């Protein structure tokens, strides 16, 4: 049976004006993009200190600020992802047998793939505090231990996550007197191994200066925390 143009028009899903279709597309894209931004900001407490240190600023303030707002950013990212999903689902669906279904299904498939990509990016960003320190610590190179070295223990205050501890470890290993460093961000306790040919007072002063450059504080200058291996 032959179909008339009117029949074909009725066979199609409801068409939208170009401006309306563009608005719908921008709506879910905006929601997905906002979710990605919120997800990245949720982990800024861990990656931003490295950026701030790179420009010579204090890392402690930036890390503490975003660590305090991390739950809010995670909630915002989740809500925006759900909004993007709803905006995609609310688009008019076509009968699979209709003459217009191919183009419409293609657009919805692209939208769904974009949403999946947004979910993956948000998930990886939000989980960065869990795997980021392990990746960063792979680049930490310690010196070979020397017999007769001294072990110093002290406390570092102001760290918000394990990435902060890695940043301090890297900074301390730049000192010639430091052979190895271990810092627990949850307790703030740090332990370093010092070569025996260096005066302890000078080493402590160097450690205190290095920690301070990152915007953190320490009690390394207090000699009562000294311990021999």
Residue 107 has pLDDT above 50, yes or no: yes
* Residue 22 pLDDT level (bands cut at 50, 70, 90): low
Q: Is 106 exposed, middle or buried (0-12, 13-18, 19+ CB in 10 A)?
A: exposed
Q: Which residues of 38-74 are buried (b: 16+ CB within 10 A; e: fewer)?
A: bbbbbbbbbbbbbebbeeeebbbebbbebbeebeebb
Residue 69 has pLDDT above 50, yes or no: yes
Residues 74-96, mean pLDDT to the nearest whole number: 82
Rounded CA gap, 152 and 134, in Å? 24
Token couple for 106:
């293609």
Residue with the two structure tokens 């501890």: 165
* Residue 75 pLDDT level (bands cut at 50, 70, 90): very high
Rounded CA gap, 14 and 130, in Å? 47
Beta bridge partners of 182: 191
**Pick the residue with more confidence: 216 or 54?**
216
pLDDT for 143 equals 61
Rounded CA gap, 57 and 214, in Å? 8
What percentage of the chain carries pLDDT values higher than 90? 26
Pairing of strands 150-157, 226-227: antiparallel
Token couple for 81:
């992802």
pLDDT for 10 equals 46
Residues 140-167, mean pLDDT to the nearest whole number: 78
* Residue 225 pLDDT level (bands cut at 50, 70, 90): very low
Per the prediction, the chain carries an average pLDDT of 78
Cα angle for residues 221, 225, 229 (degrees, 5° grid): 120
Distance of CA 64 to the CA centre of its chain: 14
**Pick the residue with more confidence: 105 or 96?**
105
List Cα–Cα distances, 106 to 17, 115, 136, in angstroms: 18, 14, 41
* Residue 33 pLDDT level (bands cut at 50, 70, 90): very high
What predicted TM-score, i.e. pTM, was given to this entire model? 0.70
């Amino acid at each position: 049976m032959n179909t008339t143009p009117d029949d074909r028009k009725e066979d199609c899903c409801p068409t939208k004006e170009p401006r309306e279709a563009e608005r719908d597309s921008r709506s879910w894209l905006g929601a997905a993009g906002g979710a990605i931004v919120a997800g990245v900001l949720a982990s800024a407490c861990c990656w931003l200190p490295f950026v701030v240190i790179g420009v010579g600023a204090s890392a402690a303030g930036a890390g503490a600020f975003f660590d305090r707002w991390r739950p809010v950013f995670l909630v915002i990212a989740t809500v925006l992802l759900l909004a993007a999903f709803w905006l995609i689902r609310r688009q008019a669906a076509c009968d699979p047998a209709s003459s217009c279904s191919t183009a419409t299904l293609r657009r919805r498939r692209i939208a769904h793939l974009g949403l999946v990509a947004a979910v993956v990016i948000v998930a990886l960003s939000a989980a960065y505090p869990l795997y980021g320190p392990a990746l960063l610590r792979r680049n930490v190179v310690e010196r070979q231990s020397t017999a007769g070295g001294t072990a110093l223990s002290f406390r570092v205050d102001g760290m918000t996550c394990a990435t902060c501890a890695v940043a301090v470890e890297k900074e301390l290993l730049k000192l010639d007197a430091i052979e190895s460093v271990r810092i627990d961000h949850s307790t703030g306790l740090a332990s370093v191994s010092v070569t025996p040919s260096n005066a302890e007072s000078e080493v402590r002063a160097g450690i205190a200066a290095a920690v301070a450059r990152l915007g953190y504080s320490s009690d390394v200058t207090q000699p009562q925390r000294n311990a021999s291996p």
